[in-house]
Amino acid sequence: MSSGSTVLLARKSIRSRLGRTIAIAVAVMAGVSFVVGSFVLADSLRAVFDDLFAELSEDVDLEVRTAQEFDGDSAREPIDVGLADELRAVDGVAVVEPTLTRYAQLVDADGEAVTPQGGPTLGVSWAGDNGLQGVTIKEGAPPQGPGELAIDKATAKREKLAVGDTVTYLTDTGSHQGTISALIGLGSGDSFGGAALVALDVDTALDRFGAGTKADALDIAVADGADVVTVQRAIEAMLPARTEVITGEQLAAEQADDVNQFVDQFGIGLLVFAFITAFVSAFIINNVFQITIGQRLRELALLRAVGASGRQVRRMITVEALILGIIATLLGILGGVLVARLLVAGFNAAGAGFPSPQTIIAARTYVMAAIVGIGITMLSVVVPARRASQIPPVAAMRPELGFTALRTKRLVIGTIITTIGAMLFVIGLFLRPGGTLGLIVLAGGGGLVLFVGVASVSSTIATPVTRAIGWPVEQLFRTPGALARQNVARSPRRTSSSAAALMIGVALVSAAAVFASSLRATFVDTLENAVTADYIVTDDSFQGLSPIVAETLAAVPELQAVTPVRGIAAQVDGDTKAFGAINADAFEKLVNPDLRSGRIAGLGLGEALIGVDPAKDLDLTVGDSFDVTYQNGVSGQLTVAGIYGDATFGNWLIGLDTLESVSDAPARDFFIIGKLADDVDAQRGDVAVNAAMEPFPQANVQTNAEFRTSQEAQINQLLIIISMLLFFAIAIAVLGISITLALGVFERTREIGLLRAVGMSRRQTRRSVRWEAVIVSMFGAVVGVVLGTFLGVVLSLAVPDDVISKLAFSPLIIVLILIGAVVAGLIAAVYPSLKASNMDVLEAIATE
């Protein structure tokens, strides 16, 4: 058999059916572009951060710091500065520089604290112009002694400060004054990634930041010609216990890793939506192939009649798809670069502050693009190509005999697929065989299988449902409306196939809506029942709040109870747990943690409050002791003072004094909660609290109600982001409806010609096609909402109770989705309705 003839036929077919070809190519491209864009964006951002941190520690050959026992979120213990002198004595060590990064903030002439836009306010130590941490002097000389400081040039410009000005600044130890000796920058930039910086010489920093004799780390540069590894070994030999020495490269990699973990998660999140888009594209492509094979029935039968084998027909269709897939993939890669740029611009417009990256297309990206682009095209064509090969040659003369070959046992297969999909989804979510991977593979895969199944089963309900949806259309638009309604209902399979892609998009939005609503309802519930605090102070800088914020707040007479919430990671029974540290006496007045046994107030040194779940798991009751090892390596025992049921503040709580007894790490508060005194009204309280917090701009003071609103707003924002990421998929779905409808109009050429001949106006023709599109997209939306709500409920039930314990639905979102579906239908109808109404009546009737 000749493969040359199949390729020729395939090529010719692609060229002469340009509209269909473009439609398929666009669908493939969209999927590929999104996948490529996600990879390019993540790879490029990662490269930026790798470079940035490598540049920052370029001059650091080695760093000495305290060791940590295991991975966790605790701040590293500080290291004694006295060690620096011993290090300087090691052979080959040229420079040893203690580094410190703490809280410091400028106060302007009016006594207002200077706040950068979005970035943190940091105090750093600076050893002078031989500084190892990438600091460069833009103007002036390094600060020396307690009377001098350096600030970053970007802040200086904004605040109109110059070298020689005297300024006031706040640190953890209070308010200080100094003269600006230098304006500094990072490398060639004037700013430190948006942070406002106050730099002091090392001794002044230790004193003013309240660090005593302990720095964060000791950075080392080796002498010219000295071997870094030899020096590292020499240092290792002399280090005290629980300290370590790492290379500058390791340091840069660690720092970059912290950021890149976020980049990776972000990239994976994007990829999920990219694959959803590709999946939706596959539906469209499959549908278009299916329809065109129906339209080409006689042509394909003729090929069979003149001697093409079934295999040749199948190969021809497959080759057509392959050529299309390859071209679309190549275009998709180009599109992906554009998508990456758009995503950066989009997220930056939303305030993400991504650096503008160079474009990195890794080899892996090309491979994935090919797998996705060519893969979805080939996968979509398998069934249509097989059907095409089964068209009997006699259909060339009697087409009606051919259509039976195109029919399948859709309901039976569809029901089986739907059941399997739903089972996989539920098993994946609830039983989680194989841990997280099992969850993702089973629940994700099950979800996809479920979509395929529902798409195929939905044809059985298409006729009654679209008749119902079409009823008001018919009442409104009479004959064109009735025609629209009948056209949709007469080919239920076509209707369900073209609505399938939209159904998936809508289902995902609906599932996210149920999930978000439930999350919000649970959160509100918790806040109402478990939290009795009037004020919640959160941290806008992601650095944690300095303890002086909580101290200041505690000193406000209008408040009766204030506690900060700090954290430390510790291992209990071999598992790493996040411990919260609180002022228990205040905590009891601020939180209702559903105490089951024991007490909260009077929590002593070495005592702990634990949740009911871990108490049960470890078989602990009040008065029992258990062993803990903190991340800094300190180990000890804690005695259970109380057992509580509400895990809003975690399952493990200790007193602030216990935390201080085991860790020297600089204290940083996640948030602070406070309660008004009984005789103080809210208005007076607000004034007092806001006045007390004025010097701490990164402390975001919210009343209980404001906090609730802002958290709800965050959940809403999450939902909006998810919907926006589904935009691609939904746009493809609309394109799909448009293509199907255009092909339908083409098929009905003669029929439309007849209608026009007997007196239907162009306007009525357009209207009929337009409402046909609206009914189809409404059908997709209705099925999608039902399916999505089901998925959302299952998903919400699968999530642990302390995250979601209450189901909630959002009728508003459902209404918005349905309105959106009408709009989607109207957009999809633009081209097909024009095509229908612009038909030449005589030609249309003459068409066979």
Partner 1 sequence: MNVTTHPAGPPTAGGDSVPAAGAIDACKYYGVGDAQVRALDGVTVAFETGRFTAIMGPSGSGKSTLLHCLAGLDTLTSGATYIGGTYLASLSDRELTELRRTDVGFVFQAFNLIPTLTADENIRLPMMLGGETGDLAWIDHVIGTVGLADRLKHRPSELSGGQQQRVAVARALASQPKIIFADEPTGNLDSTTGTEILTFMGDAVREFGQTIVMVTHDPVAAANADRVVFVGDGKIVGEMSDPTPDSILDHLKQYGV
Which residues of the chain form contacts with partner 1 (CB under 8 A)? 1-5, 8-9, 12-13, 15-17, 298-299, 302-310, 312, 392-394, 396-397, 848
Q: How far is the CB of 491 from partner 1 (least distance, A)?
A: 23
Helices (H) and strands (E) in the chain, counts: 27, 23
C-beta of residue 780 within 8 angstroms of C-beta of residue 500: yes
Determine how many CB atoms are found less than 10 A away from the CB of residue 112. Answer: 12
Q: How far is the CB of 291 from partner 1 (least distance, A)?
A: 17
Q: E strands within 489-589?
A: 535-539, 559-572, 575-582
For residue 142, report the phi and psi dihedrals to the nearest 5 degrees.
Answer: -55, 145
Rounded Cα gap, residues 819 and 666, in angstroms: 54
Q: How far is the CB of 741 from partner 1 (least distance, A)?
A: 22
C-beta of residue 578 within 8 angstroms of C-beta of residue 567: yes
Nearer to partner 1, 717 or 847 (CB): 847
Angle at 430 between CA 427 and CA 436, to 5 degrees: 90
> Which ranges of 57-181 does DSSP label H, i.e. alpha helix?
83-88, 153-159
Rounded Cα gap, residues 130 and 142, in angstroms: 10
Nearer to partner 1, 300 or 561 (CB): 300
Q: How far is the CB of 737 from partner 1 (least distance, A)?
A: 26
Rounded Cα gap, residues 526 and 591, in angstroms: 10
Q: How far is the CB of 325 from partner 1 (least distance, A)?
A: 19
Nearer to partner 1, 308 or 549 (CB): 308
Rounded Cα gap, residues 208 and 390, in angstroms: 84
C-beta of residue 556 within 8 angstroms of C-beta of residue 692: yes
Nearer to partner 1, 330 or 401 (CB): 401
Q: How far is the CB of 848 from partner 1 (least distance, A)?
A: 7
Q: How far is the CB of 844 from partner 1 (least distance, A)?
A: 16
Q: How far is the CB of 386 from partner 1 (least distance, A)?
A: 14
Rounded Cα gap, residues 824 and 30, in angstroms: 18
Q: How far is the CB of 12 from partner 1 (least distance, A)?
A: 4
Q: What phi-psi label fits residue 326: left (phi over 0), alpha (psi between -120 and 50 degrees) or beta?
A: alpha
Nearer to partner 1, 398 or 684 (CB): 398
Nearer to partner 1, 327 or 643 (CB): 327
Rounded Cα gap, residues 482 and 66, in angstroms: 78
| Angle of the 492-530 helix axis to the 445-457 helix axis, nearest 10 | 130
Output 524-527 pairs: Cβ under 8 A, ≥24 positions apart.
Answer: 524/708, 524/712, 525/805, 525/806, 526/646, 526/648, 527/704, 527/707, 527/708, 527/711
Nearer to partner 1, 11 or 341 (CB): 11
Nearer to partner 1, 301 or 449 (CB): 301
Least Cα distance to 411 among 350, 454, 360 occurs for 454
Nearer to partner 1, 395 or 722 (CB): 395
Nearer to partner 1, 297 or 659 (CB): 297
Determine how many CB atoms are found less than 10 A away from the CB of residue 719. Answer: 20
Q: How far is the CB of 841 from partner 1 (least distance, A)?
A: 20
C-beta of residue 656 within 8 angstroms of C-beta of residue 662: no
Nearer to partner 1, 12 or 763 (CB): 12
Q: How many CA atoms lie within 13 A of 336 on its CB side?
A: 37
Determine how many CB atoms are found less than 10 A away from the CB of residue 797. Answer: 14
Rounded Cα gap, residues 631 and 568, in angstroms: 8
| Beta carbons within 8 Å of 782's beta carbon, 6+ residues apart | 465, 469, 818
Q: How far is the CB of 1 from partner 1 (least distance, A)?
A: 6
**Residue 559, strand partner residues:** 676
Q: How far is the CB of 825 from partner 1 (least distance, A)?
A: 32
Nearer to partner 1, 13 or 57 (CB): 13
